[in-house]
Amino acid sequence: MGIKQIMKKIEQLDGNYIRESGDIYISPANIDKLGIYLENSDDIETILITPYLINLKDGALYELHYYEFEIEVLNIPKSNYVEYAEGNILSKEITSNIKPKAVVSQKDKNFLLEALQDYLKAMGQMAFEQDRKHDKRLENAELFYQIF
C-alpha cells in the first residue's frame, strides 16, 4: 500500500476536521495510526507533515509552519536527522523538542517509524503558547495535521 492509499484510509477515519472547501485535517488520534499503516506497507515514501491549530467552533485555522516535519526517503547508506541551524532563534519549545527533518535510507523503515513516533509524541506534549497569542480564537484551538 502506497502513501496515497494510506492517506485516503486515514482521512476517512472519524475525528478528522473537514473544512467547507473539502480540505481534511487529521486528528492526533488518527495520525498516530500512520505508523501502523507504514509499518505494514511494502513501500516507504517522502512525506511532509504540517500541523495546524484549529478552533472547531468558528473554523479559525493557524498553520504551525515552524513545527513541520519532513521525512525524506533516499537511496543512502545511513539514516540521520537534520538539526536546526546553529543560532536559530525559533522558540525553545520547537528547537528543544523536534527536528525539522529526517533523512531516511530506503531500507531503514525502523528509523522512519521511530522518527515519526518521536515527532508525534513531542507534538502531543507541546502547548504552542507563543502561537496561541497571535489570535484570541486560538486559545482553545485543537491540534490537527495534513500530510503532503
User: Mean pLDDT throughout 34-52?
Assistant: 95
pLDDT at 42: 85
The answer to whether the beta carbons of residues 101 and 69 sit under 8 Å apart is: yes
**Which residue reads 532563534 in cell numbers?**
89
143 pLDDT band, cuts 50/70/90, is very high
Determine the pLDDT at residue 69: 99
pLDDT at 33 over 90: yes
Q: Which of 88, 81, 87, 75 is nearest to 118 (CA)?
A: 81
Average pLDDT of the residues in 50-66: 97
Q: What is the pLDDT of residue 134?
A: 87
Residues pairing with 49 in the sheet: 69, 147
Question: Mean pLDDT over all residues of the chain?
Answer: 96
Look at residues 143, 99, 139 and name the one whose alpha carbon lies nearest to residue 124. 143
Specify the pLDDT at position 38.
95
> CB of 29 within 8 A of CB of 70?
no
Residue among 87, 88, 62 at smallest CA distance from 144 = 62
Q: Where are the domains of the chain?
A: 3-106+121-147
